[in-house]
């Protein structure tokens, strides 16, 4: 399956924005993109949003999500090639993010990096446990995936309601929402709260919390890195890496109140495509109960 294809001028503009956002955060762009490719890691959080909305804000740090099997390799790159220093702190508590095992902090005079170590070999899993669709974007060595572009590029977002289920997480994320609201973004818990989606088809509209999505279902905007990235220390150019092929893609559903059904809720769901032993074409379009049957493991909250 494909991703939505933006126009060439949009691709070129986005690549410039991505590189500028990395440089503004003190990270040499080509080196960082190569590092993502070498370790099958991704950048998410505020940096992709800053690339999509240039000149609106500058991130204070960069969030990198790295598979646990690549932790040592990524630390070697960040410390040896990019001259960052590893902080002695280690955080093993990250509420509502079951995929993250620990967080490491690295810094230099010009950069601050939060290195999230993710269970298994698919770092993108963690992205779909975030607080809202606004930050469900993936910068990998191949380019930038914006999974809810219809909302994001309008400055709109849906809240992942699993982050509202306990007081600690809700309070923590309230600060995140306030930060992004100050930057001009809005947040809702139901898609129908945005007027143009008032009559959308529940479970079918790609922005609906009840809809099962996959990374290559045709509804994510993908901005490829088209410029040649210089080889470094014998490493292939980052554009040749394909960390997110069919095997390493992701299926997810936001969860939350079902459209037009009062206070009826469904669970959030996220899993690697390989869990189902089926293609993205087979998975896309199923409701959550059907998807649980395909996996043979029940729903994931």
d(CA 277, CA 288): 17
Total-model pTM: 0.84
The continuous run of DSSP H or E covering 16 comes out as: helix 8-24
Q: Are 250 and 273 in contact, with CB atoms under 8 Å apart?
A: yes
pLDDT tens figures, 62-105: 999 999 999 999 999 999 999 999 987 766 555 556 789 999 99
The predicted-structure confidence for 248-267, as pLDDT tens digits, reads as follows 678 888 877 677 666 666 67
103-124 pLDDT tens trace: 999 999 999 999 999 998 889 9
What is Dmax (Cα atoms) for the chain? 58
Residue 73 exposure: Cα atoms within 13 Å on the Cβ side: 13
Sequence-separated (6 or more) residues with CB below 8 Å from residue 85 = 79, 106, 107, 108
List, for residues 161-220, the tens digit of each pLDDT value: 766 666 666 777 788 899 999 999 999 988 999 999 999 988 889 999 888 888 878 888
| pLDDT number for residue 263 | 64
């Amino acid at each position: 399956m494909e991703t939505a294809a933006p126009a060439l001028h949009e691709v070129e503009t986005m690549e410039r924005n991505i590189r500028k956002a990395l440089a503004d955060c003190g990270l040499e762009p080509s080196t960082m993109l190569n590092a993502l490719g070498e370790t099958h890691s991704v950048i998410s959080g505020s940096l992709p949003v800053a690339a999509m909305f240039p000149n609106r804000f500058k991130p204070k740090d960069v969030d990198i999500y790295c598979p646990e099997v690549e932790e040592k390799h990524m630390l070697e790159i960040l410390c040896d090639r990019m001259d960052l220093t590893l902080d002695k702190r280690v955080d093993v508590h990250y509420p509502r993010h079951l995929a993250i095992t620990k967080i490491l902090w690295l810094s230099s005079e010009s950069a601050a990096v939060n290195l999230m170590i993710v269970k298994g070999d698919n770092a993108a899993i963690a992205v779909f446990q975030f607080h809202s669709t606004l930050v469900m974007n993936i910068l990998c060595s191949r380019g930038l995936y914006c999974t809810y572009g219809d909302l994001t590029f309008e400055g709109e977002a849906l809240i992942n309601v699993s982050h509202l289920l306990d007081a600690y997480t809700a309070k923590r994320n309230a600060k995140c929402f306030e930060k992004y609201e100050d930057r001009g973004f809005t947040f809702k818990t139901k898609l129908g709260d945005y007027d143009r989606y008032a009559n959308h088809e529940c479970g079918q509209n790609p922005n609906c919390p009840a809809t099962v999505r996959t990374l290559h279902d045709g509804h994510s905007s993908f901005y490829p890195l088209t410029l040649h990235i210089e080889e470094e220390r014998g490493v292939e150019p980052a554009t040749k890496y394909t960390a997110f092929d069919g095997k390493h893609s992701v299926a997810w559903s936001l969860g939350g109140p079902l459209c037009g059904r009062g206070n009826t809720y469904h669970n959030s769901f996220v899993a690697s495509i390989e869990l189902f032993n089926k293609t993205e074409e087979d998975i896309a379009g199923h409701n959550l109960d059907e998807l649980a049957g395909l996996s043979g493991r029940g729903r994931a909250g």
